Each structure stands twice: as C-alpha cells, then as structure tokens.
Amino acid sequence: MARFSARMATPVFWGVFLFAPAWRWERLTVYFYKPGSILIWGLLCFAMYGRTVSAKGADGDKKAILVVSFGTSYPATRKLTIEAVENKIRAEFPGFTVRRAFTSPTIIKKLRRQENLCIDTPREALEKLGNEGFQEVVVQPLHIIAGQEYDQLKNTVDGYRADHGLAKLVLGKPVLYSAGEADDYGEAVKALAEQLPPLSNDEAVVLMGHGTRHPANIAYTILQQKLDEAGMRVYLGTVEASPTLDDIKARLLSGNVKRVVLMPFMLAAGAHAQDDLAGDGADSWKGQLEKAGYEVSVYMHGLGENPTLQNIYLRHVAAAVRQLSGPEAVETEA
C-alpha cells in the first residue's frame, strides 16, 4: 500500500474544504453546492490524488524510466522515432514516470536555440529525478550497439550511483546486445524484413549504420551474417567504420544487382540519413551508387518507427524493471 505523504494530503484537504457542511461555509459554499459542482470538484480531487500516486510502486517508492538517445534536431523524425518509443514505453509501464535525455551537447544546444526546447543530459536528468525523490530508476538507451556512447552512459550511471548511493538504478541494453536465448539480432532481422519492399532478382537493399572504432562495431558483422543466413539481399555498411560502401559495392557487383534501395540503419532519419546516405552531393552513398551505374531509391525512415524493433526496447526495459526488485539491482547492466 502506498504511504500517505504531504502531496497526498493536498487533495484530501481540498476535499474536506469543499465538502464540509454548508452551515460552516455559508457564504463560501454558495457556488460549490450548486447542482453539479460536487461532482466536478470530486473528480478534480480524485484526479489530483491519482496524479500524485501514479508514479509510485506498490511500496510507495517513486519509479522512473529515463530514455536516453543521441538525439536529433529534425522535429519530424524525432516525433516518429524517439517520441514514439517513449510513448510505447509509457503505455507498457504505467507505474513509471518516463523522462528523456540526449547525449549530444551539439543537438541539445541547437534545439534550445532553434526550438526553445530544453533537453537534459543523462546526468542532469538523473540529478532531477534524485531531487524529486525517485528511488527506482531504469536508464534505457535507444542506441543501436553497445559502443562508445553506451560506455559513456554506463560511466554516467555508475558515477551517479557512487555519488548518491542509489542502489536501485539499472542500465538497460541497446538494440543489438545479445545473440543468446533472447536473440536481439534475430529480432532485428525480423524487424527489417517487415519494412523491406518486394525485391526482384536484380534488386538489393543497402543499410547505412553509423559505425565506430569501438570493438562493439562487430555487431554489424554479426547482423550481416544473420541477414545472409535468412537469405535476404540486404547489405549493411557504416559511415565511420567497416563494412564500408566499397565493401557493399563488391557484393552488389557479385550479385548482379542493378537497382538499390537505401535505408538508414539508425534510430532516427537525421543528418547522416539526410546528407551522407541520400544527399544530392556526389559524395553521398546515393550519389556514389548512381555514379557507379545503379538505379537508386531511398526509404527515409528511422528504425525507431519500426514497431517490431520498438518491441526490442520494451523487452530490454522489462528486463531492467525486473532487476529493480531483485538483489542484482545493484548491478549496472540489465
């Protein structure tokens, strides 16, 4: 049962005030005791109480899920991807308050300047949750792989725990993490299959991932192996590491491909997708493939729009939530 608190006392006080016998409030209750007023004010008090306890667990502890991504300054794709995932998490875990944080200082500054939109860094968001009395927190990254960004987030979570002694703080997993019983890679292949167009014998899909010099870049190679095993003519390259576009060109050539569908393998269809993948310049992947003689079309949708891929995030959040109530909650990763 939730503990009675000062916040809960507020609606109770107003309930007593509004529904006190009329003879005590002869003048003040002229309005409140009009037909329909009691029902209206009763609903208001109930709503105030519900808002107070909605983010509390059965033991009264306030619980939150902090959804962390690199961020994007493109409003349309932000709504379709990051916001869509947040809303799905919010619907799936109604006992938790859901908050947002971005890791990119550049995007945070740009949004503040261009949209007057203030987004917290992960550390700022954790500090606010702590100041507001949240005792149980899941930090769920929307990263695709457990690369440098994920390591930095892990350091932030560990640092906050060390500074504040918060044991019930769990870091969830990115999209591509486990190839075991809970096969993230297999689920990602299913998600991609759902958004692929029908392909003729001379067509293929080319995915652009971000890529990194971090050892976690191997995740792209593992996913490519899964795609190959599934018999899908889908080739995954990266902007900043390997496989490269040249690696993909070799596969297109050996497969006698004539037409290519480009897709971003990123959470949101942001700057990399708009410029590096599908830009009009000769250096974009689209420009280079067209110069090589391929007929190119573009599927400009981030992975965050894919319902099946969104479910991978939900599964990782659920695993982290389960750890909040167990002795292993003191560990960082779910």
Predicted TM-score of the model (pTM):
0.81
Domain membership flag for residue 288: yes
Question: Region 308-324: what's the mean pLDDT?
Answer: 96
Question: Region 204-226: what's the mean pLDDT?
Answer: 97
* pLDDT recorded at residue 330: 45
* pLDDT recorded at residue 182: 75
Q: Which long-range contacts (CB under 8 A, 24 or more apart) does 153-159 make?
A: 153/68, 153/103, 153/122, 154/332, 154/333, 156/122, 156/123, 156/126, 157/122, 157/126, 157/332, 158/332, 159/123
Active-site entry in 210, 272, 301, 316? 210
* Choice between 21 and 244, residue whose per-residue pLDDT is larger: 244
Question: Region 297-319: what's the mean pLDDT?
Answer: 97
Query: How distant, in Å, are the alpha carbons of 60, 70, 112, 145, 228 from that of 105?
Result: 35, 9, 11, 20, 37
Do 138 and 280 share a domain, yes or no? no
Domain membership flag for residue 47: yes
* pLDDT recorded at residue 325: 81
* Choice between 223 and 7, residue whose per-residue pLDDT is larger: 223
Do 118 and 189 share a domain, yes or no? no
Do 196 and 298 share a domain, yes or no? yes
- Of 53, 73, 90, the residue at which a domain comes to its end is 53
Number of folded domains that form the chain: 3
Do 163 and 226 share a domain, yes or no? no
Q: Is the pLDDT score of 81 beyond 70?
A: yes
Q: Is the pLDDT score of 34 beyond 80?
A: no
Do 208 and 134 share a domain, yes or no? no
**DSSP single-letter state for residue 275:** I
Domain membership flag for residue 151: yes
Domain membership flag for residue 325: yes
Do 220 and 281 share a domain, yes or no? yes
Do 144 and 254 share a domain, yes or no? no
Residue 122 Rama label (left phi>0; alpha psi -120 to 50; beta): alpha
Question: Region 122-145: what's the mean pLDDT?
Answer: 97
Q: Is the pLDDT score of 33 beyond 80?
A: no
Domain membership flag for residue 1: no
Do 268 and 285 share a domain, yes or no? yes
Do 162 and 208 share a domain, yes or no? no
* pLDDT recorded at residue 179: 75
Percent with pLDDT over 90 in the chain: 76
Q: Is the pLDDT score of 294 beyond 70?
A: yes
Q: Which two tokens stand for residue 238?
A: 């990266």
Q: Are strands 62-69 and 295-298 parallel, antiparallel or unpaired?
A: unpaired
* Choice between 167 and 37, residue whose per-residue pLDDT is larger: 167
Domain that holds residue 259: 184-302
Domain membership flag for residue 140: yes
CB 11 within 8 A of CB 49: yes
Do 92 and 38 share a domain, yes or no? no
For residue range 258-280, what is the model confidence (pLDDT) as tens digits?
999 999 999 999 999 999 999 99
Confidence of residue 327 (pLDDT cuts 50, 70, 90): low
Domain membership flag for residue 23: yes
Question: Region 88-113: what's the mean pLDDT?
Answer: 98
Residue 214 annotated among the catalytic residues of the structure? no
CATH number of residue 230's parent domain: 3.40.50.1400
**DSSP single-letter state for residue 198:** P
Do 247 and 312 share a domain, yes or no? no
Domain membership flag for residue 19: yes
Q: Is the pLDDT score of 145 beyond 50?
A: yes
* pLDDT recorded at residue 296: 98
Do 192 and 286 share a domain, yes or no? yes
Q: Is the pLDDT score of 165 beyond 90?
A: no
* pLDDT recorded at residue 56: 57
* pLDDT recorded at residue 181: 66
Q: Is the pLDDT score of 177 beyond 90?
A: yes
CB-facing half-sphere around the CA of 207: CA atoms within 13 A: 26
Within the chain, where are the H helices? 6-19, 29-32, 37-53, 75-80, 82-92, 105-115, 122-131, 148-164, 184-195, 218-229, 245-254, 271, 285-291, 307-324
Q: Is the pLDDT score of 313 beyond 80?
A: yes
* pLDDT recorded at residue 27: 44
